[in-house]
Amino acid sequence: MNFKVIALTAAALSVAALPTTADARCHGCGVAAGVVGGLAAGAIIGSAIAGPRAYEVPPPAYYGPAPAPVYVEPAPEYYEGPACHIERQRFWDGYGWRHRRVEVCD
């Protein structure tokens, strides 16, 4: 249904863009007709590509019992290594007291 509507709309737009006897000397109408024709062709080709695909082979039917479920052990939620944190330490560098951040692991 959708393809028919698009095709009829494209055909109507193509016919509407043709020059009549009243404006037969219109020099810009060729550009308009080309634009409308290009849009119509794009709509027709796009709907043909996006339409249902009747040529695809359906997947084979599965006959027999369903396969047994497989248990997979979940991944650990956290790392069980040493607990580390950042501390701010004060130290003397020869000229004065300074601060630095140091990672400390328990």
- Over the stretch 84-104, which tens digit does the pLDDT of each residue have? 899 999 999 999 999 999 999
Per-residue model confidence (pLDDT) at position 13? 57
Tell whether 34 is covered by a domain: yes
Tell whether 41 is covered by a domain: yes
Per-residue model confidence (pLDDT) at position 42? 83
Number of domains present in the structure of the chain: 1
Tell whether 39 is covered by a domain: yes
pLDDT tens per residue, range 30-74: 677 778 888 888 888 877 777 666 666 666 676 777 777 888 887
Segments forming the whole domain that contains residue 46: 2-20+28-50
Tell whether 14 is covered by a domain: yes
Tell whether 79 is covered by a domain: no
Tell whether 40 is covered by a domain: yes
Tell whether 44 is covered by a domain: yes
Per-residue model confidence (pLDDT) at position 36? 81
Q: What is the dihedral of CA 20, 12, 38, 25, to 10 degrees?
A: 10
57-61 contacts, C-beta under 8 A, 24 or more apart? none
Q: Does residue 84 contact residue 103 with C-beta atoms inside 8 Å?
A: yes
DSSP string computed for 43-70: HHHHHHHHS--TTSPPPPPP-SPPPPP-
Q: Say whether pTM exceeds 0.85.
A: no
Q: Does residue 36 contact residue 17 with C-beta atoms inside 8 Å?
A: yes
